[in-house]
Amino acid sequence: MRSQTNRVILALPLLVVMTIFMPEVASSQTARVLVPEGSFHSVLPEIPGEPVPVDSFYMDETAVTNEEFVKFLKENPEWRRSEIPPIFTNDGYLREWRSDLDPGYEKLGENRPVTRVSWYAANAYCSDQGGRLPTLNQWEYSAQLMEFESKTEMRTFSSELINWYSGIDVNNLAEVGSTQIENTEGVKDQFGLVMEWVEDFKPIIADELSLDCGTVGRMNTLGSVYSYAASIRYITRMSFNAKITTGMVGFRCAYDEPAPTSQYENGNTL
């Protein structure tokens, strides 16, 4: 009996340590959502009547947060604001942060999407996580996996979406996962929070197509709630270069494999 008591006493410190640290580990890992294979109609020119096929992949449930990016910077100092080479960004890189490793949560708020990062930095982050930026087709396909109960609900969503694209409030971004907008697979906030980097943000299009609303609008083949909003996204992306940093653009990662089994899922601990 005494030996059992001693074992319990010896185990208590370990249990205390696990209780303290395990929730923090779980919260630092973004859940990955499986997006099944399928197809969608792009606003870019495509074979008439033939949708764009997309293989299955995994994608972060929510956009990468400031907290997650700080962790990346601690482990990869070459991507800190004071260290990143000019070839990989412009002067706006993380410019609102208080310092290299301090976003200034009092001003920005906690659990907010990281913005003002270049494509190069976003790509480096995803690579460090064992993933990559989602391709343009993967992101757009996932964004179209939405369900509406009626055409009225669809039209209301479309109107709100267009209004959001015309006035993203970069100084008052909400928490990730807070928009209550998610696709059928559980990917959240592809609309209503920030725009997001994709791997091939400058798609190759015909030389005769110019970068203006009229031309891209005529490229529409969707004929649905996503038509005009999708055109806005394509116009905006095609105006970017890889070094640009803006408060209205964040990112999330995509993966070819599920999360390692050692990661905690849905907040559960081992």
**Residue 26: what pLDDT?**
35
Contact 171, 181 (CB under 8 A): no
- As for how many domains the chain has, the answer is 1
* CATH assignment at residue 59: 3.90.1580.10
Query: Does the model's pTM come out above 0.85?
Result: no
Q: What DSSP string describes 107-124?
A: HH-SSPBP-S--HHHHHH
Q: Is residue 6 in some structural domain?
A: no
Question: Whose structure tokens read 């913005």?
Answer: 115
Look up the domain containing 128 and give its range: 33-255
Q: Is residue 202 in some structural domain?
A: yes
Mean pLDDT along residues 132-142: 96
Mean pLDDT along residues 193-202: 94
Indicate the residue type of 4.
Q
Q: Is residue 4 in some structural domain?
A: no
Beta strands 195-196; 249-250: pairing state: parallel
Beta strands 57-60; 32-35: pairing state: antiparallel
Q: Model confidence over 237-269: pLDDT tens digits?
A: 888 999 999 999 999 999 998 888 644 444 333
User: Where is average pLDDT lowest: 49-58, 62-71, 107-116, 218-227?
Assistant: 218-227
Q: Tokens in use for 53?
A: 């096929």
Q: Is residue 268 in some structural domain?
A: no
Contact 43, 227 (CB under 8 A): yes
Q: Is residue 96 in some structural domain?
A: yes
Taken in order 67, 130, 190, 166, the sign of the CA dihedral is positive
Question: How far apart are the C-alpha atoms of 126 and 72, rounded to whole Å?
Answer: 10
Q: Is residue 79 in some structural domain?
A: yes
Residues paired with 57 in a beta bridge? 35
**Residue 7: what pLDDT?**
47
Q: Is residue 15 in some structural domain?
A: no
Q: Is residue 88 in some structural domain?
A: yes
